[in-house]
Amino acid sequence: MRSRWLLLIQLIWILGCESAPVPLPESAAILLQEATLALDENDPGRTISMAEQAVQLAPGHPHPYFILGQAHYVRGNYTDARRSWEMASRLDPDNWVWVQTVGDAAFQQTDYQASLDYYLRAVRMHPDAVSWHGAAGAYWEMGLTEEAWDACHQALILDPDYSPAYISLAMIAEHMGELEDARSYVEQALSLSPDNPASLLAAGRLARLTGNEDYAVSVLNKALEQVPGHPEIRYNLAMAMLQAGESEQAAVLLEGLDTEKSLPNGLRPDHPVQ
């Protein structure tokens, strides 16, 4: 579920050690390795404890702040995550990874202009699909549909296999009423990540909207198996079941569901559906 985070950590160990302004003491490095394992085991509280100890041992090194911010982000503490990642960026201003992650935290805080600024800064430092896709999400939330569309395509120029950009293009096309284009983008996403809950959700939602409720029920059930209780998947599955005449099962899914959280809330930074 945290594949992007783990890739970022690997990138940091490879690149960050060369660019960091001060050496990382061995004792702090051991703590951070243990903190990373704790996060992979879904124990962000233990990660925070060990990362804070590493900060005490190496207050001038960015890595402890990055891991600390990561744990806060997983917990949904976006203010603390942003604060930690901003500190990492101040300590190592030439590292694009820190800048990109601050953009993620700002996006989750709904500070979309700041988020966009960070993503575009990361793009200038190190052009990559993730930062362009993050910028697309910020543009979308700011009502700049054309810019969001262009940013998704910039992401795909850099990485034609980057499935989140296809999912976002499908959402934009769906919003504009271009359902055939939306279907084409969804098919691209599914071909690249057929078992990804985000791809399955996009496929199921579009199938429901175009009257293919049987297919919608099939793919949304598959998505819900991977992410039980996810509100947007539950909502779309329930609506597809209603269209298919399965009203009793739909009622069970809708029971206690917060419909405000069940509707698509725009393009998101590249983090898994969870």
Greatest alpha-carbon pair distance for the chain in Å reads: 64
For residues 261 and 166, membership in a common domain is answered with: yes
Q: What is the pLDDT of residue 24?
A: 84
- Reduced to 3 states (helix: H, G, I; strand: E, B; else coil), residue 86 is helix
Percent of the chain's residues with pLDDT above 70: 86
Q: Does 206 fall in a domain?
A: yes
For residues 174 and 76, membership in a common domain is answered with: no
Tell me which residue of 142, 68, 140 sits closest to 105, measured CA to CA. 68
Q: Does 99 fall in a domain?
A: no
pLDDT grade for 274, boundaries at 50, 70 and 90? very low
Domain of 210? 161-274
DSSP-derived letter for residue 195 is T
- Lowest mean pLDDT of 41-50, 191-200, 249-258, 260-269, name the range: 260-269
For residues 165 and 89, membership in a common domain is answered with: no
For residues 174 and 265, membership in a common domain is answered with: yes
pLDDT grade for 23, boundaries at 50, 70 and 90? confident
DSSP-derived letter for residue 13 is I
CA distance 52 to 90: 18
Residue 261 has pLDDT above 70, yes or no: no
CA distance 58 to 28: 7
Output the pTM of the full model.
0.84
Q: Does 197 fall in a domain?
A: yes
Tokens found for residue 7: 């890739």
Q: Which of these three, 41, 66, 94, is where a domain ends?
A: 94
Q: Does 239 fall in a domain?
A: yes
CA distance 118 to 92: 15
Residue 1 has pLDDT above 90, yes or no: no
Percent of the chain's residues with pLDDT above 90: 78
Q: Which of 141-145, 245-249, 264-268 has the highest mean pLDDT?
A: 141-145
For residues 82 and 188, membership in a common domain is answered with: no
Q: Does 115 fall in a domain?
A: no
Q: What is the pLDDT of residue 193?
A: 92
> Do 163 and 185 meet the contact criterion of CB atoms below 8 Å apart?
no
Per-residue pLDDT tens digits for 121-158: 999 999 999 999 999 999 999 999 999 999 999 999 99
Q: Which of these three, 94, 127, 149, is where a domain ends?
A: 94
Q: Does 137 fall in a domain?
A: no
Report the CATH number that the domain containing residue 55 is assigned in CATH.
1.25.40.10
The Cα-based distances of 49 to 65, 71, 72, 101 in angstroms read 12, 10, 11, 21
Q: Which of these three, 69, 94, 119, is where a domain ends?
A: 94
For residues 90 and 197, membership in a common domain is answered with: no
pLDDT grade for 229, boundaries at 50, 70 and 90? confident
Q: Does 149 fall in a domain?
A: no
Q: Does 243 fall in a domain?
A: yes
> Do 202 and 191 meet the contact criterion of CB atoms below 8 Å apart?
no
CA distance 270 to 198: 10
Q: How many CA atoms lie within 13 A of 163 on its CB side?
A: 19
Buried b or exposed e, range 69-95, using 16+ CB within 10 angstroms: bbbbbbeebbebbbbbbbbbbebbeeb
For residues 84 and 165, membership in a common domain is answered with: no
pLDDT grade for 264, boundaries at 50, 70 and 90? low
If one counts the domains in the chain, the total is 2
Per-residue pLDDT tens digits for 193-203: 999 999 999 99
